């Protein structure tokens, strides 16, 4: 399984889309918390799902730095790389 930023982003967007009550155009610079009106529990479940999808654990201090979809994509990419190293 090769994970480049583009297909990580596609997976992240697909997972977020499922959570939203109505379709919203999602981009790399969309703010996950601010722009989408999701509550903290929904965000936590979303993160757990992403962790499962990529078989990683995102430490809480890293999660705190994630604001946009691209922040998350980057965090996932670096953790996936670490996992394989």
Partner 1 sequence: MSILAKFSQLQHTYDALSAVKPNPFAVTFDEIISSTEGVIDGRQTILLGTNNYLGLTMDPECIEQSVQALRQQGTGTTGSRVANGSYASHRALEQDLANFFGREHCMVFSTGYQANLGMLSTLVGRGDHLILDADSHASIYDGARLGHAEVIRFRHSDPEDLYKRLRRLKDVPGSKMIVVEGIYSMLGDLAPLREIAAVKREMGAYLMVDEAHSMGVLGERGRGLAEAAGVEADVDFIVGTFSKSLGSVGGFCVADIEGFDILRVACRPYMFTASLPPSIIASTRQALRRLESDKPLRQRLSSNAERLYQGLRQLGLNVGPHASPIVSVALEDQELAVRFWNALLQSGLYLNLALPPATPSNRPLLRASVSAAHSRRQIDRAVELFGEVAVALGVLPATTGSPVAMVA
Burial 55-81 (b: 16+ CB within 10 A, else e): ebebeeebeeebebbbbbbbbbbebbe
Region of 7-15, 19-27, 53-61, 68-76 interacting with partner 1 (CB under 8 A)? 53-61
Exactly one of 44, 65, 78, 81 binds partner 1 (CB under 8 A); that residue is: 44
Exactly one of 27, 59, 65, 78 binds partner 1 (CB under 8 A); that residue is: 59
Region of 7-15, 20-28, 56-64, 66-74 interacting with partner 1 (CB under 8 A)? 56-64
């Amino acid at each position: 399984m090769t994970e480049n930023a583009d297909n990580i982003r596609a997976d992240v967007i697909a997972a977020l889309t499922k959570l939203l009550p109505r379709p919203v155009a999602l981009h790399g610079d969309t703010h996950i918390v601010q722009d989408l009106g999701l509550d903290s529990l929904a965000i936590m479940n979303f993160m757990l799902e992403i962790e499962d999808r990529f078989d990683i654990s995102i430490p809480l201090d890293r999660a705190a730095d994630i604001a946009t979809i691209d922040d998350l994509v980057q965090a996932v990419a670096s953790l996936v790389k670490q996992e394989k190293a």
